[in-house]
Amino acid sequence: MRVVVIGGGPAGVAAAEAAVRAGADTVLVDSEPTLGGQFHRGNPQRVDSRVRHLANSTVWAVQGLRLHIRTGPADSPTRTGEAIDADAVVIATGAHDRVVPFPGWDLPGVYTAGAAQALAKGQGIAIGQRVLVSGTGPFLLPVAESLKHVGANVLGICDANTGAGWLRHPRAANPTKIAELLGYAIRLRTSWQPRTAVVAAHGDDKVSAVTVAKLNPDWTIRSQRRVAVDAVCVGHGFTPRLELAVSAGCKLADGFIAVDHTGATSVPGWYAAGEVTGIGGADLAAAEGEVAGTAAAGGPCPATALAKVRSGRRFAAALAAAHPIRPGWQTWLADDTLVCRCEEVTYRALREAIDLDATGTRTFKLTSRVGLGLCQGRMCGRSAVDLATTLAAQRRTFFTPADLQRRPIATPLRLAELASLPEEDL
Amino acid sequence: MRVTIDGVQHSATPGQTVAGALLADGRTSWRTTRGAGKPRGVFCGIGVCFDCLVTVNGVADVRACQRLLAEGDDIRTEEP
Ligand SMILES: Cc1cc2nc3c(=O)[nH]c(=O)nc-3n(C[C@H](O)[C@H](O)[C@H](O)COP(=O)(O)OP(=O)(O)OC[C@H]3O[C@@H](n4cnc5c(N)ncnc54)[C@H](O)[C@@H]3O)c2cc1C
Ligand code: FES
């Protein structure tokens, strides 16, 4: 019985350890040089020595239960290829930040909250000296804390929601989490500003100021002022990395991989754990990993971890409900605001594509070129679909926000690498 | 570790990424976009957005935030 776990964050490491304990021959494939994923960046984790850990290794395609892997330095043509046949797979590829577009978000000095966090934790670098943190959700707090650790002056944390609904939410009554968040609040001594957002960034070659707005509950702008900064980081929640799950044929639910209580997806042999199944933090990810890794290896369901998963998911649902993305962000855009950073597609160009009667995601993408660049819509896809849906409704055209996640090659390969693949690998 | 960035020698530490070295050197952008020629540097920091591309040892389009520096690496940016 061979279990292959994809992703070496809290979920993947826990899944691999559980699978190996349950007696499976276990392989852990992770694209990073060291284990730990996003949460433990800069603090490498270990895994049970019986697990075969493939570091610097990316699963770039799947064919049934056969996984295609490239190993070596990022984007290097010297990477070597390998295909592994699994009896069961656990997808634990995590998530990346979602950022809604605003004027100037493409200026250097504007980062995702995750980038600020990764640079601080992994490289000891502060993105700036006078920094604003903006977006929504409790993840902004550890980011602000990390920024302070590396010497940045955090001018404030702007949350477009109030988060209050969440603290009052009975299902979120999770004392550990609340204590954790209060701890940040006390340590940070930084002003946390509810219903506030960075809605524009200004500067020539680099951000030098931002517009901070007081928002209405729907995120439309109530009033605004200019603040001088040398960097800003923004995060409106997370987008799961679904490519492999989608190409394996796993069903999705609300934009995440649909799983049962054991982490089993809709496709036999395929399991999922961590932020690909919902956003709930590192502890929940690890508990989900333990449950899914055990199930993948055919072991008995671990009761304690399962109980943690159940309470963690309730917390996650309350969290998501308290930090929605409200449609008012669409009013922050100017005609020339980029929506797609790669292909430099502006808001105006999207509107023109809809005016030409783009009746589905495919035509819409081909007309406007949105999402057709190097990142393949990972940064702009969800925002573009939201904008198109609003614009189409205004113009009474028919638009189905089809699945923008379909990317048969999960990670870019160099052409030379593709050309050198043996035929049976393709 | 010794590396070269746009022809200038720098010392680097194990675990440092190309983006880490460029930012530590005070550079926030090192590439311009094909269309409008706008400057870009790091945005997502975790390999997803492709804003941070550089040339490493003659190979173009390497994500600076993902690539760890190795002894003797020759890093070239579009905008030295
Ligand atoms: C940039 C960033 C920073 C974060 N920092 C924090 C923080 O400091 N504190 C906090 O509470 N939460 C943080 N989060 C939220 C965080 O995602 C979770 O708390 C937790 O790390 C989720 O665990 P996970 O195992 O599901 O995924 P992750 O930790 O994201 O791990 C996924 C792993 O899978 C790898 N991977 C992805 N695709 C492939 C592939 N095709 N082949 C091989 N490997 C692959 C990735 O490189 C990564 O190592 C951060 C999120 C992001 C995006
Ligand atoms: S900064 Fe996004 S890929 Fe490097």
Chain B residues in contact with A110 by the CB 8 A cut-off are: 43
pLDDT of A172 over the 70 cut: no
pLDDT of B8 over the 60 cut: yes
Global ipTM: 0.97
Taking residues B29-51, report their average pLDDT: 96
Where among A236, A268, A285 does a domain terminate? A236
Q: What pLDDT score does A224 carry?
A: 97
Higher pLDDT, residue A408 or A11: A11
Residues A124 and A81 in one domain: no
For B18, phi then psi, to 5°, come to -60, -45
pLDDT band at residue A258, thresholds of 50, 70 and 90? very high
Helix boundaries (H) for A278-408: 282-296, 303-322, 347-355, 361-368, 381-394
Q: Is residue A425 part of a domain?
A: no
Taking residues A275-288, report their average pLDDT: 95
Tell me how far apart the alpha carbons of residues B78 and B6 are, in angstroms, rounded to a whole number: 9
Q: What pLDDT score does A173 carry?
A: 55
pLDDT band at residue A396, thresholds of 50, 70 and 90? low
For A59, phi then psi, to 5°, come to -80, 120
Chain B residues in contact with A107 by the CB 8 A cut-off are: 39
Residues A169 and A292 in one domain: no
Taking residues B11-37, report their average pLDDT: 95
Total count of residues recorded for chain A? 426
Where among A277, A301, A325 does a domain terminate? A301
Q: Is B56 in the pocket of ligand 2 (CB under 6 A)?
A: no
Within 376-405 of A, beta carbons closer than 8 Å to B belong to 378-379
Residues A141 and A166 in one domain: yes
Q: What pLDDT score does A397 carry?
A: 56
pLDDT of A270 over the 50 cut: yes
Q: Is A96 in the pocket of ligand 1 (CB under 6 A)?
A: yes
Within 47-76 of B, beta carbons closer than 8 Å to A belong to 47-51, 56, 59, 61-63, 65-68, 70
Residues A73 and A103 in one domain: no
Other CB atoms within 10 A of residue A272 CB: 34
Taking residues A196-205, report their average pLDDT: 97
pLDDT of A93 over the 90 cut: yes
pLDDT of A106 over the 90 cut: yes
Contact A151, A128 (CB under 8 A): no
Q: Is residue A310 part of a domain?
A: no
Q: Is A8 in the pocket of ligand 1 (CB under 6 A)?
A: yes
pLDDT of B10 over the 80 cut: yes
Taking residues A68-80, report their average pLDDT: 94
pLDDT of A426 over the 60 cut: no
What is the edge-to-edge ordering of all strands in the sheet holding A196-202?
Answer: A196-202, A209-215, A221-228
- The highest-confidence range among A179-193, A398-412, B23-37, by mean pLDDT, is B23-37
Residues with Cβ within 8 Å of residue A353, at least 6 apart in sequence: A364, A367, A368, A370, A388
Residues A91 and A104 in one domain: no
Residues A215 and A128 in one domain: yes
Other CB atoms within 10 A of residue A148 CB: 18
pLDDT of A176 over the 80 cut: no
Q: What pLDDT score does A171 carry?
A: 56
Q: Note if the pTM is more than 0.95.
A: no
For A85, phi then psi, to 5°, come to -95, 130
State how beta strands A25-29 and A270-272 pair: unpaired
Q: What pLDDT score does A423 carry?
A: 47
Q: What pLDDT score does A119 carry?
A: 98
pLDDT of B36 over the 50 cut: yes
pLDDT of A425 over the 60 cut: no
Tell me how far apart the alpha carbons of residues A7 and A358 are, in angstroms, rounded to a whole number: 37
Q: Is residue A317 part of a domain?
A: no
Helix (DSSP H) and strand (DSSP E) numbers for chain B: 1, 7
Name beta bridge partners: A232: A110, A132
Note down the domain range covering A31.
2-96+239-301
Judge whether A98 is closer than 8 Å to chain B, CB to CB: no
Q: Could you give the percent of chain B with pLDDT greater than 70?
A: 99
Q: What pLDDT score does A185 carry?
A: 66
Q: Is residue A417 part of a domain?
A: no
Mutate to test the interface with A, among B16, B18, B25, B28 (most CBs of A within 10 A): B28
Contact B2, B11 (CB under 8 A): yes
pLDDT of A401 over the 70 cut: no
Q: What pLDDT score does A7 carry?
A: 98
Residues A294 and A345 in one domain: no
Q: What pLDDT score does A408 carry?
A: 57
Q: What is the mean pLDDT of chain A?
A: 89
Q: What pLDDT score does A317 carry?
A: 86
pLDDT band at residue A169, thresholds of 50, 70 and 90? low
CATH assignment of the domain containing A114: 3.50.50.60
Residues A112 and A161 in one domain: yes
Q: How does pLDDT run across A327-383, given as a tens digit for each residue?
A: 999 999 999 999 999 999 999 998 888 887 666 677 777 788 888 888 888 999 889
CA A319 to chain CA centroid, nearest Å: 16
Q: Could you give the percent of chain A with pLDDT greater than 70?
A: 86
Ligand nearest to the CA of A120: 1
Residues A120 and A79 in one domain: no
Q: What pLDDT score does A424 carry?
A: 43
Q: What pLDDT score does A392 carry?
A: 78
Tell me how far apart the alpha carbons of residues A190 and A193 are, in angstroms, rounded to a whole number: 9
Residues A196 and A269 in one domain: no
For A396, phi then psi, to 5°, come to 55, 30
Reported CATH class of domain B2-76? alpha beta
Domains identified in chain A, total number: 3
Q: How does pLDDT run across A17-41, given as a tens digit for each residue?
A: 999 999 999 999 999 999 999 999 9
Residues A341 and A271 in one domain: no
Q: Is residue A111 part of a domain?
A: yes
Q: What pLDDT score does A125 carry?
A: 97
Taking residues A49-75, report their average pLDDT: 96
Q: What is the mean pLDDT of chain B?
A: 95
Judge whether A354 is closer than 8 Å to chain B, CB to CB: no
Tell me how far apart the alpha carbons of residues A81 and A72 are, in angstroms, rounded to a whole number: 9
Ligand nearest to the CA of B67: 2
pLDDT band at residue A326, thresholds of 50, 70 and 90? very high
Mutate to test the interface with A, among B29, B44, B66, B68 (most CBs of A within 10 A): B44
Domain boundaries, chain B: 2-76
Q: How far is the CA of A167 from the centre of ligand 2 (A)?
A: 34
pLDDT of A402 over the 50 cut: no
CA distances from A116 to A23, A234, B22 (A): 40, 9, 15
